[in-house]
Chain A
């Protein structure tokens, strides 16, 4: 069993990596790269050399190519920096031809300065992504010329809420591991995912921060700072990073250089928003679909069953988009908002209609399968035996058949999250809900490649691991099932 889980986890990781690699190569090589500037107002206002350098530095920042300007070329490839910096000098020409031999393309700015660039090939693109993906914080992280004597060590200190925390001096983050009352209670800052910078929307912010940071306006709370000052502030002290230059407010509040903190926001982040909707809808779908599937199986061929089949067929056949708008229209008759932002996060009415729709999208397949499994089980020998023993129909269904039929349904619970994704894409777009589902089409339409890669990673990883958890859950519920059976194939 341990071996099985291990090999499944490895396979899952490989699957995620394969998908993400393919997406990276496709996004970086097949989409015309000038498209990223279509939404960039600053770029449109520039002209001449400024525009050229801005363009190439953006490409380099986003990982398209390696771009070097004259000063960088000279400091990298020449021993005589001063001589090299003179245009048309022998030294510079030698440097240029060296770069040319290494496969770089040479071009000149209007002022005569040379620059070189070279596109990354698919393998380099993939390597660049994965080599930067996981960032482990360490005490040697901070390299600040103004503060060379910074102490470099881990220590156990006290976090702002009085709980002990593993802290670090010299790392990027002050709190490496800490506990507080917000989910998931144990927080680790030592390892971070780096999915690149978001551009052109949410310019300059790491894409991971865009989807995981709270939204809306900042919320201030009364808090004590390391210097002992008690002030109202929105800062989240647990997230403080090293800041080279402190301003006067920072100096009043902090005793060290860890003053670059994120803030608390009034509304949940994109990930949490999607989760709130997805999980409540999932619960509702199961609560509705399983009893009605059971009722259909118990009354097979009768009016309940036939009506159920009509409902299921209707829900499957109607395009999900049409279904969403039908339900939204019905909702607006009963005074529910047809857009999420109208009433916002605080009002419960904003949630009701989208959740009903998300549940409706999952109900038909759940109902069909519940009915199918129940019927299959009711033809089994043990069910006939129970009937021969003289048990009532109700007892047979609740005590015998249900226990067996529920197993494959439990297997499906985590993988319903996948269904949530495609449902969430549409529902969140139709209701303008600020979640991950809406972010994906938005990022695609804005040519925000790093964001697309980040979301692909999140969605694929979520769905692959949820299927794995579903399989493991099944073995817990039914000890007869063994995933690692010899020679057997899991269907």
Chain B
């Protein structure tokens, strides 16, 4: 056999040299794979989604309004124990507790979600600059040193007292008192990775600061932000319940789990279901959201993606 028969000419393929043989990696795919590998998380996600869906759909269907009491003059409608018709029974004014509880849950969720979103957007934006600019840091750290020592529960309470009870006021009071700790948390994280070698290299190659923040640092912060969110949502729910319980949270016109717990604590022996159902529901939502958030935060940390 001649050489021509044994060997065939092949043209050089440029694209083949660019091919990377490592397995394909997609960030979000890995996040979801990691998340769904936990059975507890799936169960809790189903519970959390169900609760959120019921809380947002049921009040639309029932049209519950705590100020309307059509059955107040009908004693036979009051204090009905939970049964097939009234799943959670009826309260002292003859309203269905099932409607009230879900309307209250919806309000808790709206307050908690809005406050979390505002806190995170404000906290992350300020925190990023704070970690990056040394001049800004010098001023902000002084402000923080003063603010961080103040018991924020107290400030939120007094703010609600001054502003009057209502949903926007509550969201304002909660976000105003908590954004600075989120910003500080982000600042520390930014400072840790700001001077890492890859960022130095990037800077030497002439990447503009804005691009370093959005492309190099922000992706790293996602898991940190997720952790922060997973702590915020249940803590704001807890906060709303707490403030409404002591009488400075949502007003009478809004259904609220905290206010329900406070009002019905006097029926603890005569109609215990009135008191315990809101307590259980509040515990239920915040535990399920907390565990979903924690698992998601773990899953969104790229270091857990290595098998």
Residues of A within 8 A of B (CB): 11-12, 14-15, 18-19, 23, 26-27, 30-31, 313-314, 316-323, 325-326, 338, 418, 421-422, 425-426, 429-430, 440-441, 444-445, 452, 456, 459-460, 463-464, 467, 489, 491
Contact = CB atoms under 8 A, between A and B. Distances in A.
A444 B247 contact: yes
Contact of A460 (B145, B150, B247): B150
Interface in B20-78: none
Nearest to A418: B151
Q: Which 10 A-B pairs have the closest CB atoms?
A: A317-B290, A319-B238, A441-B246, A422-B153, A322-B283, A317-B287, A464-B149, A15-B146, A26-B162, A444-B161
B149 A313 contact: no
If over half of B's interface residues share one DSSP class (helix, strand or loop), that class is named, otherwise mixed; here it is: helix
B107 interface: no
Nearest to A32: B164
A26 to B, nearest CB: 5
Interface string B277-293: 00110110011011100
A463 B282 CA distance: 29
B157 interface: yes
Nearest to A423: B153
A14 B147 CA distance: 11
Given A15-B150, A31-B161, A463-B150, A321 B238 contact: yes
B264 to A, nearest CB: 11
23 contacts: A26-B159, A26-B162, A313-B290, A317-B289, A319-B234, A319-B237, A321-B242, A321-B279, A322-B241, A322-B279, A322-B280, A322-B283, A325-B275, A326-B283, A429-B245, A441-B246, A441-B247, A441-B248, A444-B157, A460-B151, A460-B154, A463-B151, A464-B149
Given A319-B241, A456-B154, A426 B246 contact: yes
Interface residues of B, number: 40
Contacts of A429: 245-246
A441 B261 contact: no
Contacts of B158: 23, 26-27, 444, 452, 456
Contact of B150 (A19, A27, A422): A19
A31 B246 CA distance: 18
Given A23-B158, A459-B151, A317 B146 contact: no
B282 A322 contact: yes
Contacts of A323: 283
Contacts of B188: 491
Interface string B237-260: 110011001111000000000100
Contacts of B275: 325
Contacts of A14: 146
Contacts of A459: 151, 154
A313 B294 contact: yes
A491 B154 CA distance: 24
A221 B207 CA distance: 82
B141 interface: yes
Contacts of A15: 146, 149-150
Contacts of A319: 234, 237-238, 241-242, 282-283, 286
A421 B154 contact: yes
Contacts of A316: 234, 290
Contacts of B159: 26
A429 B248 CA distance: 13
A321 B287 contact: no
Given A313-B290, A325-B261, A11 B145 contact: yes
Contacts of A456: 154, 158
A318 B287 contact: yes
A444 B290 contact: no
A441 B165 CA distance: 14
A33 B161 CA distance: 13
A34 to B, nearest CB: 14
A66 to B, nearest CB: 23
Contacts of A26: 158-159, 162
